[in-house]
Homo-oligomer: A and B are copies of this chain.
Amino acid sequence: MDTAQRSGCPINLTLEMLGDRWSLIIIRDLMFGNRRHFRELLTHSEEGIASNILADRLKRLTESGLLSRRDDPSHKQKGIYSLTEPSIQLVPLLAQMGAWGRRHTRASEELSIRAELLEEGGPAMWADFMVELRALHLNAPVPQRSVFAELQAAYLAVVAKNSGVVV
């Protein structure tokens, strides 16, 4: 990894770590979709990431401490990717990105519902979500509230509604 940085500005440095078209997509899928394996990230990606790009980003993100990788005991070739404390602390940033995107881009209703809930929930909900992510990714104690489940349920409800199925 090159260490040459353009400036010491925190916004610039954040951009240097995450300012490309795929890094935050991968973190998003790990965070909100709980995709933990290479294959899951590759094939369940809404955006259709290529395998070489995914491999490269996983390597870079792991090297820069935003992800960690451990072996999957059930399969000698599989690795399990986890968020780290720094990437868990991206929750407020991703919440703001979702909120902005929902207002100012042509986001779909189905994929916006999580952003809407996170925005309404505010910092308190983000904190609860971060506690839960620490349980899922860092072996911290499991909390009572599952923001993940709330978001998932809301998403499935909108999908069901829009396909005409009675929930």
Binding site for B on A (CB under 8 A): 5-17, 19-21, 24-25, 28, 46-48, 86, 89-90, 92-94, 96-108, 110-112, 115
Contact = CB atoms under 8 A, between A and B. Distances in A.
Contacts of A99: 10, 92
B112 A10 contact: yes
A110 B8 CA distance: 9
A126 to B, nearest CB: 10
A8 B96 contact: no
Given A19-B20, A21-B19, A92-B96, A46 B101 contact: no
Contacts of A21: 15-16, 19-20
A129 to B, nearest CB: 15
Contact of A19 (B17, B19, B115): B19
A31 to B, nearest CB: 10
A115 B11 CA distance: 8
Given A12-B47, A86-B104, 16 more contacts: A8-B112, A9-B28, A9-B101, A9-B111, A10-B105, A10-B115, A11-B94, A12-B25, A12-B46, A14-B98, A17-B105, A19-B19, A19-B21, A20-B20, A86-B103, A93-B100
